[in-house]
Amino acid sequence: MKYDNINLEKYRKYAMRKRLFLIFLFIFTVFTALVYMGIGTMKISLAEIVKVLAGNGERKYTTAIMNIRLPRAVAAILIGAVLAASGAVMQCVLHNPLASSSTLGVSQGAAFGAALGIIVFGGGVMTNANSTAGVSVNNPYIVTICAFVFGSVSTLIVIGISQLRKNTGPAGLILAGTALSAMFSGGSTLLQYFADDTSLGAVVFWTFGNLGNAGWKDLRFIAAIALASMIYFMFNAWNYNAMDAGYDTAKSLGVNTRKLMLVSMTVCSLSAAASVSFVGIIGFVGLIAPHVVRFVTGNDHRFLIPGSAMAGSMLLLLADILAKITVPPVILPIGALMSFIGGPVFLILLFRGDKRDA
């Protein structure tokens, strides 16, 4: 009995440490969002930001925050959360630390769909003096729908391959995703080759990634997607813990591993495709955030999934802050910045994997 009490006390301390970490992440994410809204051509103090959010701010500050900065901050929070939580789940069900939404070609499929929507279906560009980048995409919903459809098609093809070949394991799914990524990238290049200068510029602008592309209507849709996917992930947190111990162990505990893997990959990929279809390609969030959080929470998905979501939100906020302050007043493309950050992290994880295999 004394031994059981000692173990129970250890578990309580273990769980409390992780809960405190999640609380810290939440507070720091909120603080980062407040700082984020104060940075720009017009500097706004934290006190003034709080006044605006409470409905008592000056008109000029209210206009800047409510119409421009707050939607952009909310986009970073929602999209970062979706991509990071999806990455954590993918890494579990595929037993691959390098898995993320781009593993199945979701990002490349979305990029091809966006190029198709812009070049073939008339989503061109127009000059916009009020836009930081100087251009914006016409017919945005044509581009968004095409990006979502082809991002989803990539997932459906990979899942179809796994169903046709029952012996296809996680490594096979990743290889199939890599092949599809190459095909979609080639298709995007061919479309751009035949495009005029205006359409080509729109495609390049979309693939840069821009959190400012999503308006309040778009954010409501992304929020619904984020909430639905997080509910599914958290509902299956114990199943992911079982799968992390191995497929045989999970099966012995009554987990339908194949069904869980396929449904989880579908939810991850569709939610990621829905997110990037509004803002363009933003990579590596689903790769970096889960690994950072895993240092504290371990592989307990009850804590890893919400922790990854908050870390992903914070990562995108910090990256967009860097995009704002590097070459003011120009806002650098966040997709390119995330690639600069994520590339070295990818190589570090790859080398760490090689050392474990040796």
* DSSP H or E run through 51: helix 46-54
Cα dist from 162 to 93, 165, 174, whole Å: 14, 5, 11
pLDDT of residue 168: 63
Three-state secondary structure call for residue 125: strand
pLDDT of residue 310: 96
Three-state secondary structure call for residue 225: helix
Per residue in 131-147, pLDDT (tens digit) is 444 445 556 678 888 88
pLDDT of residue 349: 64
pLDDT of residue 170: 64
Per residue in 182-193, pLDDT (tens digit) is 899 999 999 988
CB 129 within 8 A of CB 170: no
Kindly give, in sequence order, each residue whose CB lies less than 8 Å from that of residue 154, ignoring residues fewer than 6 positions away. 104, 105, 106, 108, 109, 177, 180, 181, 184, 269
Task: Give helix then strand counts, H and E, for the chain.
Answer: 15, 2
**Domains by residue range for the chain, with CATH:** 2-357 (1.10.3470.10)
Say how far apart CA 222 and CA 227 lie, in whole Å.
Answer: 9
Cα dist from 115 to 88, 139, 203, 222, 280, whole Å: 29, 13, 6, 21, 11
Query: What does the chain come to in residues?
Result: 358
pLDDT of residue 166: 63
pLDDT of residue 229: 95
pLDDT of residue 231: 96
Q: Torsions phi, psi of 236, nearest 5?
A: -105, 15
Mean pLDDT by 10 residues, the chain (358 residues): 63 84 94 92 89 87 91 94 93 81 81 89 56 51 86 82 68 78 91 86 84 86 94 95 87 88 87 86 87 89 95 93 86 83 71 50
CB 356 within 8 A of CB 303: no
